A and B are shown apart, each in its own frame.
Chain A
């Protein structure tokens, strides 16, 4: 009887210790799969956030960086986000010079791993993966007075980030108002913000992190994506332009009545979605004239396409900046799914 008693205690203890081991297992990964909503926040309030929406839910988890890192703050507008080798890079744009930063977080827990600050990072605009452990961040550099023409420093730069050392290893002098970057093979095509007046399409060699070529483009090139045929698309003025990345030659130019907004490529890379004159359209990559078909009879501040569900995500237009904005979801057919309250000025998506 006594033995039995001891046995049960031992079994109990073993069970308890096993259970204990279980509880100290790897941390939960609440953000493993879903949609990251990048909220720009209000101008000069520096209150941007990242919210997380799990695909089945209609409620976002707010300010997940703060949740994961209670003692830290983003304090700026969230300008961009991407992931490289299990690490997320959050671009934070503060409206005071010298206070911008890039938070590097664990992609699944959003716990902060490192912070890149000024002068390495100044007005970060876009981040892309540029290698297995490398990211490029386009930066305008310090901005001056728009009306005096000193807003865009000439040139801006691309910060090369090594995700192993979590440091900026190089600044590549780029173009004025440097912004969008699209990788094609071992090259990156770099353009500018439409207001910068810069007309150079720059090509960077990914292997050497150096400028390979500068192509005079006639109007400001804003690279968008590579299509199913491995052709580069960019927006230039009110036109969508298809470029052969190998020959650098323009193959197609679709000129619209006004500048198409929020241009995103579809999941199968066979078409683009864009907004124009209060509506949202779709146009094939093989189109020969600038006539799209209406998908949704309203426009959005930002469009996103979820590669998993092919759903279209649009953000409220216009954004209000002083109260939480909404994300409206549609099937790829244009059928309304639902409307979800995000945070202040939702202006970008990252789907995982």
Chain B
């Protein structure tokens, strides 16, 4: 009790410190912005969320907008599977899909939406099948532990989703329609607008509604003697972004994202059918003035599961109220180096009513204090971060990280950068792990990670037409007190395991451009060795040193395209070696190669810009199995139509 009040005192003091510094810091930045253009540029970059700027030495991969446009009607699972080494544990088309990032478990990846962690707090993870690519404008993947900058869950890595306001004046409308195999279809309707509001303010906005209906009416019931599971998924969503920008640079953004995902398995049988309905409401207001950012967010996650009678589901509802205040200090910016300190404090309040916990309201508070330091010269980029989290009846560790990047070669047409980072990470147990009736364990310790990584990145122009980028990374991530629902103690959750993940990642890209022609190839390869290393009972001997389930040792992606004018043909490929399905590696799914071909063409027709995509998925008709040992569908197709008007945009 005493330590608890001490914590709140420290927190209050810290917030007071930030607020108190405000006046001086503001005047400081106002002076400097008059002094040089470079600083106002960095004031713009302040809008980037912390993990993109303060994790020197770690790999970040931004998925380009053309790729996002190709996956416009897909879930984020497909976009990531074909472009990153992330491994997915997939239950079936339109069904639960969870991630393994660098050999960690599904709850070791933080999914951030405009800087806020949106992992479902009861499960501590994101079901990637419920996140459509249409739901965000930007997608980046932050590799490795980044708890110091992100907070809980960022053990294997983070997925960064973001909204980007467009300031192009006028109103643009968008209509998108997909028609696909198995009587599946999707519709998107949206508008983007920007207009001045008086002399000092302007507004940018985006409104989008989307719906999809996966009927999954396969013309076959089995593939190579593996059954396909009958299921339907209906998805609906609404996105509303509003950004008010003052000419002084002050900005207020409102982001809202409502999602509703309705999965029914075995819909043909009224007794055995199962419905999983996942609804989320995410509201966020962000105010940025000079070097201060204040965020206020509210997220509600609802999970309903019913079998047979769909009207009487088991109910899970969790609300989160989040406030975060961040303040950036340019400690030295008009020198040949820049030194930036960003401090932040966050407080969130969780309230959950979950049938599995007994149905009563369970509340907890979480708070974070952090300081992120960034030092940049022409050749060096260094960062040093520290975070301390506070959670009701729980004690997260102090989480520091340091990273460095050094330009080994810095020529006009060629750069070579060496990178390295050391970071600790932690994970606050999920609400299920803490509160589930009888099985949960309120005394769980935080999982404790230690991540080491190093890498080399290069970018260069091989000729006037040919550009190369390549990055090689190696890492070792050791996670202790890994939780395990232990069968030998009637499935009580315990901090039993020690998992060590180590790996290598290589990504290369080559782009050729000449006149009207463009061609590109992107290759990714990952070696991921992740294993449980602790003996905690007699039978765990059979598990020690074994590869974690559903994590392939080798995986690769290949994306290549050829474009002439507004026509483009692309090939997307993903391959992985065998995936073990049991802890002792006695059973596995065979390795597989998946390939999609996408043909695109866009035309101006009257006042509209019409983009047509035709895609053939799984062209090799490969048999891939889901977790329940059901076959995924074979070769299938889709036709996508995206109409933007007026056509003078994009």
Contact = CB atoms under 8 A, between A and B. Distances in A.
B224 A42 contact: no
Interface in B574-598: 581-584, 586-587
A321 B269 contact: no
B268 interface: yes
Contacts of B249: none
A320 B487 contact: yes
Contacts of A148: 307-309, 312
Interface stretch (B114-122, B226-234, B406-414): B226-234
A98 B266 contact: yes
A233 to B, nearest CB: 30
Secondary structure class of chain B's binding surface, majority of residues: loop
B218 to A, nearest CB: 13
A99 B227 contact: yes
A72 interface: yes
A323 B308 contact: no
Interface string A39-63: 0001011110000000000000010
Nearest to A326: B539
Contacts of B217: none
B629 interface: yes
Interface stretch (A89-97, A167-175, A209-217, A284-292): A89-97
A322 B581 CA distance: 8
B188 to A, nearest CB: 32
B628 A44 contact: yes
Interface in B470-494: 487-488, 490
Interface in A9-54: 42, 44-47
Nearest to B540: A323
A99 to B, nearest CB: 5
Nearest to A101: B227
Contact of A142 (B272, B543, B549, B628): B272
Nearest to A316: B539
Secondary structure class of chain A's binding surface, majority of residues: loop
A323 B581 contact: no
Nearest to A143: B272
B306 interface: yes
B586 A75 contact: no
A143 B272 CA distance: 6
B487 A318 contact: yes
Which of A95, A144, A316, A344 counts the most B-chain CB atoms under 10 A from its CB? A144
A259 to B, nearest CB: 17
Which of A143, A148, A316, A320 counts the most B-chain CB atoms under 10 A from its CB? A320
A335 interface: no
A42 B582 contact: yes
A194 interface: no
A323 B542 contact: yes
Contacts of B312: 148
B225 interface: yes
Interface string A56-76: 000000100000000111010
B621 to A, nearest CB: 16
A339 to B, nearest CB: 10
A321 B307 contact: no
Given A142-B269, A148-B308, A322 B224 contact: no
A75 B227 CA distance: 8
A206 interface: no
A324 B586 CA distance: 7
Contacts of B630: 46, 75, 96, 99
Interface string A294-336: 0000000000000000000000101111111010000000000
A286 to B, nearest CB: 37
A153 interface: yes
A323 B488 CA distance: 13
B269 A344 contact: no
A322 B627 CA distance: 13
A150 B266 contact: no
Nearest to A95: B628
A94 B227 contact: yes
Given A47-B581, A144-B307, A98 B224 contact: no
A224 B539 CA distance: 32
A153 B272 CA distance: 10
A72 B225 contact: yes
Contacts of B314: 147
A323 B266 contact: no
Given A44-B628, A322-B582, A73 B271 contact: no
A142 B269 CA distance: 8
Nearest to B355: A147
Nearest to B92: A96
Contacts of A72: 225
B265 interface: yes
Interface in A143-173: 143-145, 147-148, 150, 153
A320 B309 contact: no
A323 B227 contact: no
A253 to B, nearest CB: 31
B488 A318 contact: yes
Contacts of B543: 323
Nearest to B271: A144
Contacts of B583: 320, 322-323
A316 B539 CA distance: 10
Contacts of A95: 628
A72 B582 CA distance: 20
A45 B307 contact: no
B275 to A, nearest CB: 11
Contacts of B488: 318, 320
Given A144-B271, A145-B307, A323-B586, 5 more contacts: A97-B269, A98-B272, A144-B272, A144-B308, A145-B306
30 contacts: A45-B627, A45-B629, A47-B581, A47-B582, A47-B587, A62-B586, A75-B629, A94-B227, A96-B227, A96-B628, A97-B269, A97-B272, A98-B268, A99-B630, A143-B271, A143-B272, A145-B308, A147-B314, A148-B309, A148-B312, A150-B309, A320-B539, A321-B487, A322-B487, A323-B542, A323-B543, A324-B584, A341-B542, A343-B586, A344-B587
